[in-house]
Chain A
Amino acid sequence: MALTEQQLKTSEDQYQYGFHDEEAPLFKSKRGLSAEVVTEISKMKNEPQWMLDFRLKALKYFEKRPMPQWGGGGMLDEIDFENIFYYIRPSDRPEQDWDDVPDYIKVTFDKLGIPEAEKKFLAGVGAQYESEVIYHNLQKDLEEKGVIFLDTDSALQQYPDLFREHFATIIPPNDNKFAALNSAVWSGGSFIYVPEGVHIDLPLQAYFRINAENAGQFERTLIIVDKGAYVHYVEGCTAPTYTTNSLHSAVVEIIVKEGGRCRYTTIQNWSKNVYNLVTKRAAAYKDATMEWVDGNLGSKLTMKYPAIYLMEPGAKGEILSVAFAGHGQHQDAGGKVVHVAPHTTSTITSKSISKEDGRSSYRGLLKVHPEAEYSKSNVRCDALLLHENSRTDTYPYIEIENDRVDIGHEATVSKVGEEQLFYLMSRGVSEADAYSMIVTGFIEPIAKELPMEYAVELNRLIQLEMEGSVG
């Protein structure tokens, strides 16, 4: 059953980024999901037949699969799939030049405070506004090195063979219900190819926003890091508040070839009515390294477990996850590592914070195949509870299928103590500042892994969350 507008209005609180601009898109699809809508999306994009077939097949998987009852449990049943726009196109084609970006979109970015300096410092900015990437800027030296950084739709048109070779090879359309949904209606996202031996020193970035009321956002990201190459991709999301449920269901696939390294950093701050249901998975080959840094704030329900498959000897995986569950929110987050090959190593570090009646869960899978001897893994999850009615749960699934492995697992739950608060306050710090100091300290091991401006933004978002929460 979908929530009524009245019910949702009451849950609408002051949300920092809860402004919205007047929409002026050129095309807006009908509400609801059908083979007709999927075909229309594909036609609008002039896609090859194989992609249309892929989408239609995925739609069937989506329709057939039951709604998952774990994780968010009954909350998922509240999503009204017939009341969602599956495709919105703000402009005819991706813009090449910042000057061509429509003004109303620039205004939104200004409100988000995307710093001017970033444009100079950062290698490229792909900004997803509604369902289409409208701005891409790639520095010349990257182009000369053969790096491809495009919105995923353009990549399909411009690099059809490279695209088809890798697309949906890590996350097949029937992987889970929401991966199937994304596969049917995906739009936008980033496509990155880093050629053999190329190191991109500065992070590549994209900003995402859901702006149209009821606009589902189904971006699809595919990153291929060739042998010995390196890229750090940073994705940041903020979304405005609306009075009907929004759905964000992305798919991110990453392939890291021999000796390559990829780091994927996300800070998401969805408005508190968004269902954030994302499938992220990477495959790391011989001596390759994959790192997920995943920060989840906001949203009504987040279900996200970045995964790494360690496919060949010497592969390494690291997952750092932070979740902040405030009033009325449920963050079901964690990570999955599958050791397929011998001599592979992994670490999962999860930090969750629950405020008021917020609920955070760590859900993790560590699987070691019979062949994956001499593998090492360390899992650590820490939960911090701010109030008496805050809740945290841990679901660590561990499946070890051989004896020659070195596995560590540690979980802690702590409460913000009266003595810590008193100590900080006795130095003149207000109660709200004392809380946010303890929380930022708690996540510091992960914040220090973020690029500076993201660490600052994360700490600022947490301060905003703490203001007004102290009574």
Chain B
Amino acid sequence: MNTDREIDTMEKTLVIRNLHVNVEDKEILKGLDLELEKGKTHAIMGPNGSGKSTLSYALAGHPSYEVTAGEVLFEGQDILEMGPDERAQAGIFLAFQYPMSIPGVSMANFLRSAVNSVRRARGEGDMRVPEFRKKLTERMAALKMDRSFMGRYLNEGFSGGEKKRAEILQMAMLEPKLAIMDETDSGLDIDALRVVSDGVNTLKGDDMTVLVITHYQRLLNYIKPDFVHVLMDGRIVTSGGPELALELESRGYDWVRAEFAVPA
């Protein structure tokens, strides 16, 4: 293997090369290339149907998203053969656009199972209960979540805003190396958006890379990206700095389509 290339991938949190993904035998991602720099915030923007959610599910390892070609290196390691639980244990986190509700499972019990599953996979012992509760209480306060959330069943009867906050809480407890946020702004009012964004901004640092997937530029006013990538028809067609998001907001996607000859 090329030594230069190896060093290169080590400095990136995630390297995606020529990724092809089928959903129900239909090709959605058609040779996607993307590199995420460690500790940076990347945004992927694209029109409806461009493959944004497919990318996030494929990265998290959803069994219905079939990878037909390409490679995905996370910290230099190929993750495509890993199950969703192993990817999470390695440090990948997906904040869902539509989180599932699990009746009868309390937030506190679920979070403890998740945190300890990840710790065990890393050869660390279970987190002691007082330490866990202290951390949970702190993180909930930061997200302006009432303590009663601990006893509520996971996402059961949660409002849209509560679900998104609960996703960020999970992220805050699991402390991933790569956080993928799939349309996290959908269904949020401005106040909730600010709380959620503050949560992400507090967490991200030199160790956490963030990939924000969004249709609108609005979220990027709160979570400021270092890089913006445009996803159309299953490929990243252009990349740039934060100014690219503003341009997309004012001009729409048609000019991108025209400029990069993406079939409509």
Contacts and interface: CB of A to CB of B under 8 A. Distances in A.
State yes or no: do A and B come from one complex. Answer: yes
Contacts of B118: 427-428
A422 B84 contact: yes
B174 A428 contact: yes
Given A428-B88, A428-B89, A429-B85, A423 B99 contact: yes
Interface string A421-453: 011111111110110011011111100000000
A438 B154 CA distance: 11
A443 B117 CA distance: 23
B240 interface: no
24 contacts: A418-B63, A422-B63, A423-B99, A423-B100, A424-B110, A425-B61, A425-B85, A426-B60, A426-B61, A426-B96, A427-B110, A428-B88, A428-B89, A428-B118, A429-B85, A429-B113, A429-B117, A430-B85, A430-B117, A440-B105, A441-B105, A443-B104, A444-B104, A444-B153
B114 interface: yes
B37 to A, nearest CB: 23
Interface residues of A, number: 24
> What's the dominant secondary structure at chain A's contact region?
helix
Interface string B61-79: 1111000000000000000
A353 to B, nearest CB: 12
A419 interface: yes
B170 interface: yes
Given A418-B64, A422-B63, A422-B84, A427 B102 contact: no
Interface of B: 60-64, 83-85, 87-89, 93-94, 96, 99-100, 102-105, 110, 113-114, 117-118, 121, 153, 170, 174
Contacts of B93: 426-427
A428 B85 contact: yes
B84 A426 contact: yes
A438 to B, nearest CB: 6
B114 A427 contact: yes
Contact of B94 (A420, A426, A429, A443): A426
Interface in A58-114: none
Contacts of B85: 425-426, 428-431, 434
A442 B103 contact: yes
A419 B170 contact: no
A119 to B, nearest CB: 26
A430 B103 CA distance: 18
Contacts of B60: 422, 426
Given A433-B117, A437-B113, A427 B170 contact: yes
Report, nearest first, the 5 A-B pairs whose CB atoms are least far apart: A441-B104, A444-B104, A428-B88, A427-B114, A441-B105
Contacts of A445: 104
A431 B83 contact: yes
A426 B82 CA distance: 11
Contact of B100 (A419, A429, A431, A443): A419
Contacts of A431: 83, 85
Nearest to B180: A426
Contacts of A430: 85, 117
Contacts of A424: 102, 110
Given A425-B85, A426-B84, A440 B104 contact: yes
Contact of B174 (A418, A427, A434, A437): A427
B47 to A, nearest CB: 25
B208 to A, nearest CB: 16
A433 B104 contact: no
Interface in A180-228: none
A418 B174 CA distance: 22
Given A428-B174, A438-B105, 11 more contacts: A426-B84, A426-B93, A427-B170, A427-B174, A428-B89, A428-B117, A433-B113, A433-B117, A437-B102, A438-B102, A441-B105
